[in-house]
Structure 1
Amino acid sequence: MQLPVQSQSAIYTEPWEAEAGAEDLVAVARAADLHGFDYIACCEHVAIPRRLAAAMSTVWYDPVATLSFLAAATQRVRLLSHVAVVGLRHPLATAKQYATLDHLSGGRLILGVGAGHVREEFDVLGADFAGRGAVLDETVDALKAALGEEEFPEFAGERFRFSGLGQRPRPAQTPRPPIWVGGSSPAAVRRAAVRGDGWLPQGDPRDRLPGQIEKLRALREAAGVEEPFTVGAIAEPLYVGTPGWDTGRHTLSGAPEALAESLRAYAAMGVRQLQVRFRSRGRDELLDQMAAFATGVAPLLED
């Protein structure tokens, strides 16, 4: 699940999150750890321009700092950047941060990456906004080298070159942490298919997912890529049980059996990891929803 509090876009944030903070993040992360959730996720924006602040808000916790903080409060749950805008910085700087996170967490990192969409962020940091797709392609290739098992990784691309430069600590995972690529545009799907270890779609509705997944498979086959690959999806907002309050017309609610039946449709499409978000009016209700999902719905989704 994507963590609450750490990003507060008007699209999905709950009112109670505006006054929440570190204690709430720790409580949710520990609940995810306790109840068997696969990962907790944190997304990235460096700075939000005034023209977008009303819709996006300016609350975007740094993913490396946040996930490192929560790694120390948990034991098992994996730590996903969903997504890191890695084209904003040199891949060796990104590798240093995320290799350290993987090392300190005992190998729990999933590095989710995306192209980004806020021009002002790129401009103020001196990054290439117009060419961000090509930059991300090369950055993913460079990160594969930099996060591998070699203490002195080597890479030679059009924009980035490095050799003879050692970085320790190395990631705990071997041969390297997985890299999942976010985005649903044709370019993002192609990037995920040929460069990623997994795909993180961005809001594709159910009726669009089968076509996207078929494109992924065709692109991987054409490129001769045979390594394991994780297809993801983001479920509709959920509420386990009868809410008794207006949770919005797009929310899936009801008994565990009904929710499980609905969510199993994702597996039938070929989805292998499903990100969930629960409607709630406060931290306690969110924790109750997580527990209800873990005990009532999740067991009905197992193969």
Structure 2
Amino acid sequence: MAIDIGIFLPHAEVPPLEVREAAYHAVDAELDSMWCGDHLARGVPVLDGMLVLATAAAVTECIDIGFAVYLPALRSHVCAAKQIATLQELTGGDRLHLGIGVGDQGSGWDAVGVDPAAREARTDEFLQLLPSLLGGEVTELPDGSSTQLAPSVPVPPVWIGGVSDAALRRAAKYGDGWIAARQGPAEIRAKSEVLRSLAEEQGRPVPRLAAVVHCALSKRPDPRLADGLAREVAETFGVPVEVARGCVVAGSPGQVAEQLAAFAEVGVEKLAVAVNGDWHQSCDLLGEARALLAPQPRC
């Protein structure tokens, strides 16, 4: 069963954990990838995602890194592209997976002087410009000026986040893949059929599938874990508990492996797992679940 299992690095812990050590730990657990979000402020200490991924990549070699998701609309198009190009160059050009999202009302728009109502349009502009900017071409910008970035780098795989109709259309038009969040396998299967139709209308390949999964792990089965995690996810993201319960995974490594396998069965290729509880212990247990799904380590 071909599915990559990755973990969110602990960039929003209290206090923040040491990123380099966490990256080593993810490799030791034989996970496939390390992921990070993109937030200016969340009410708790939070590290910059671009620098977290750069640090983690600098102390590892064969493990992938990814954003789930990066919010380009928080920045100027050129600055965002330059950061991405630099990360792509520093990491060898074949490790970065670029999840792109539009963010929500709490993503920090006021702090950077961006109207949140413009975030979708700004994201679409950025996606249109990204191949030209990363390719080192002279690129005309929306204000009529032009620029050229160097060195040129390959465009990393672009995974469009979001579950709205607009997000699916964006994925079909610009994405190599679609990354779902707070969606169970059944919902992903249904939306993937919509995505297929939209891609056919665009004359583009059907985007690949990835998902962000919230997970609570324990050494032994614990029937309380799933309900507790569902309540936490519901409170954090403002969704009904019954909705959250359908898209979280919890239990022992064997139980979690079985639940993650259901995502693979609907075509999901990559999972970015946000673990609950002690990060190091959860990382080890997630590695055990990964070994049950894909016995061959990546590194």
Identity %: 29
- Inter-partner Cα distance in structure 2 for 1:144 and 1:282: 36
Q: How many residues align?
A: 272
Instruction: Give the 5 Å matches for 1:28-107.
Output: 28-47=22-41, 56-107=42-93
- Higher mean displacement: 274-283 or 38-47: 274-283
2:167 corresponds to 1:188: yes
Aligned partner of residue 37 in structure 1, secondary structure: coil
Task: Letter of the 1:252 partner, please give it.
Answer: A
**For the Cα contact (< 8 Å) 2:162–2:181, is it kept in 1?**
yes
**For the Cα contact (< 8 Å) 1:232–1:272, is it kept in 2?**
yes
Task: Letter of the 1:37 partner, please give it.
Answer: L
Aligned partner of residue 187 in structure 1, secondary structure: helix
2:122 corresponds to 1:135: yes
Q: By how many angstroms is 1:267 displaced?
A: 2.2
Task: Letter of the 1:262 partner, please give it.
Answer: Q
- Inter-partner Cα distance in structure 1 for 2:23 and 2:143: 36
Aligned partner of residue 181 in structure 2, secondary structure: coil
Q: By how many angstroms is 1:167 displaced?
A: 2.0
Q: By how many angstroms is 1:240 displaced?
A: 5.9
> What is the match of residue 198 of structure 1?
177
2:149 corresponds to 1:167: yes
Q: By how many angstroms is 1:292 displaced?
A: 1.7
- Inter-partner Cα distance in structure 1 for 2:92 and 2:294: 26
Task: Letter of the 2:112 partner, please give it.
Answer: L
Task: Letter of the 1:293 partner, please give it.
Answer: A
> What is the match of residue 289 of structure 1?
285
**Relative contact order: is structure 1 or structure 2 higher (C-alpha 8 Å, sep ≥ 6)?**
2
2:25 corresponds to 1:3: no
**For the Cα contact (< 8 Å) 2:10–2:22, is it kept in 1?**
no
- Inter-partner Cα distance in structure 2 for 1:244 and 1:63: 33
Task: Letter of the 2:39 partner, please give it.
Answer: H
> What is the match of residue 242 of structure 1?
220
The Cα offsets for residues 138-191 of structure 1, whole Å up to 9 and x where unpaired, read as 11111122122xx333245xx35554x3322333xx3x2121111111111111
Task: Letter of the 1:269 partner, please give it.
Answer: V
Change (3 A) 1:295 1:206: closer
- Inter-partner Cα distance in structure 1 for 2:88 and 2:28: 20
- Inter-partner Cα distance in structure 2 for 1:89 and 1:282: 30
Change (3 A) 1:90 1:109: same
**For the Cα contact (< 8 Å) 1:243–1:253, is it kept in 2?**
yes
Change (3 A) 1:281 1:223: same
The match for 2:261 among 250, 264, 271 is 264
**For the Cα contact (< 8 Å) 1:39–1:79, is it kept in 2?**
yes
The match for 1:224 among 203, 212, 218 is 203
2:94 corresponds to 1:116: no
| TM-score for both structures, normalised by structure 1 | 0.79
Change (3 A) 1:279 1:87: closer
**For the Cα contact (< 8 Å) 1:238–1:276, is it kept in 2?**
no
Higher strand share: 2
Aligned partner of residue 271 in structure 2, secondary structure: strand
The Cα offsets for residues 113-143 of structure 1, whole Å up to 9 and x where unpaired, read as 1111136722331223112112211111111
Aligned partner of residue 76 in structure 1, secondary structure: coil
Instruction: Give the 5 Å matches for 1:268-279.
Output: 268-279=265-276
2:153 corresponds to 1:177: no
Where structure 2 has 5 or more consecutive residues not aligned to the other structure, the ranges are 1-5, 231-248
Q: By how many angstroms is 1:99 displaced?
A: 0.6
Q: By how many angstroms is 1:65 displaced?
A: 1.1
Aligned partner of residue 207 in structure 1, secondary structure: helix
Q: By how many angstroms is 1:71 displaced?
A: 1.2
**For the Cα contact (< 8 Å) 2:7–2:273, is it kept in 1?**
yes
Change (3 A) 1:225 1:287: closer
The match for 2:294 among 289, 295, 298 is 298
